[in-house]
């Protein structure tokens, strides 16, 4: 199971697949992740285990962001005010990795989260209209009443995702948006 990068009951200000008209310029069918409205400086946690890559787009793109690559999954956490892990650092699920902000192309303080499935280091479902990004709300531990702690139990809803049995060209159906 993956965690929401924000504990508690974070407000989703833009869901996956929304606002097609804005995102078609990037070649996407809609928003390629989740946006959470949160005050600048909110602590951001690793949705899953992985190795961190720290990046900075400056005033454009995702601004200050961190990419976390695990064996089977990748998360990008964008528009941060500060990345609190080092480049190449290994983190466990639930570890703090950043402070949220409004860096890069952002109209206000929020956290952007893109989630992709990896297989042998390669993003799967690249042709799904979102460059492989997927709506992970179905396999994410419930936003509500979420406690951040490591090594959570998996639930039945996560089994198809965790089995990694889909074909290379198979499109995982997005449950919202396009």
Tokens of 71: 């064996």
Tell whether residue 64 is a contact of Zn ion (CB under 5 A). no
133 or 158: whose CB is closer to Zn ion?
Answer: 133
Choose the binding region for Zn ion from 44-52, 55-63, 107-115, 145-153 (rule: CB under 5 A).
Answer: 107-115
Least separation in angstroms between CB 22 and Zn ion = 10
Q: Which is nearer to Zn ion, 3 or 113 (CB)?
A: 113
Tell me the window of 40-48, 93-101, 108-116, 142-150 that interacts with Zn ion (CB under 5 A). 108-116
Interaction of residue 35 with Zn ion, rule CB under 5 A: yes
| Comparison of 35 and 135: residue with beta carbon closer to Zn ion | 35
Six token digits for residue 16: 């996956």
Q: Which residues, including other chains, have CB under 8 Å from residue 143's CB and lie 6 or more apart?
A: 4, 9, 10, 12, 137
Least distance (Å) between residue 150 CB and Zn ion: 26
Cβ-based neighbour number of residue 33 at 10 Å: 25
Measured distance CA(53)–CA(88) in Å, rounded? 6
How far is residue 81's CA from residue 108's CA, in Å, rounded to a whole number? 12
Q: Which stretch binds Zn ion (CB under 5 A): 31-39, 41-49, 87-95, 155-163?
A: 31-39
One of 64, 73, 74, 112 touching Zn ion (CB under 5 A)? 112
Smallest gap from Cβ 165 to Zn ion, in A, equals 29
SS3 163: helix
In the bound complex, which residue of the shown chain has the CB atom lying closest to Zn ion? Answer: 112
Minimum CB distance to Zn ion smaller for 35 or for 49: 35
Q: And the tokens for 70?
A: 């695990």
Beta carbons of 85 and 132 less than 8 angstroms apart: no
Q: Tell me the C-alpha to C-alpha distance, in Å, between residue 47 and each of 96, 97, 178.
A: 10, 10, 24
Could you list the residues that contact Zn ion (CB under 5 A)? Answer: 35, 112
């Amino acid at each position: 199971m993956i965690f929401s990068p924000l504990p508690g009951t974070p407000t989703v200000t833009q869901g996956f697949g929304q606002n097609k008209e804005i995102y078609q310029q990037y070649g996407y069918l809609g928003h390629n992740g989740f946006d959470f409205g949160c005050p600048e400086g909110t602590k951001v946690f690793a949705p899953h285990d992985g190795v961190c890559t720290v990046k900075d787009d400056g005033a454009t793109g995702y601004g200050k962001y961190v990419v976390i690559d695990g064996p089977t999954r990748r998360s990008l956490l964008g528009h941060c005010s500060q990345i609190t892990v080092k480049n190449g650092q290994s983190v466990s699920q639930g570890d703090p990795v950043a402070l949220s902000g409004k860096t890069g192309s952002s109209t206000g303080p929020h956290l952007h989260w893109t989630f992709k499935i990896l297989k042998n280091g390669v993003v799967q479902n690249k042709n799904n209209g979102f460059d492989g990004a997927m709506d992970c709300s179905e396999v994410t531990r419930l936003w509500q009443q979420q406690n951040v702690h490591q090594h959570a139990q998996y639930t039945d809803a996560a089994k198809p995702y965790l089995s990694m049995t889909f074909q290379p060209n198979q499109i995982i159906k997005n449950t919202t948006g396009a």
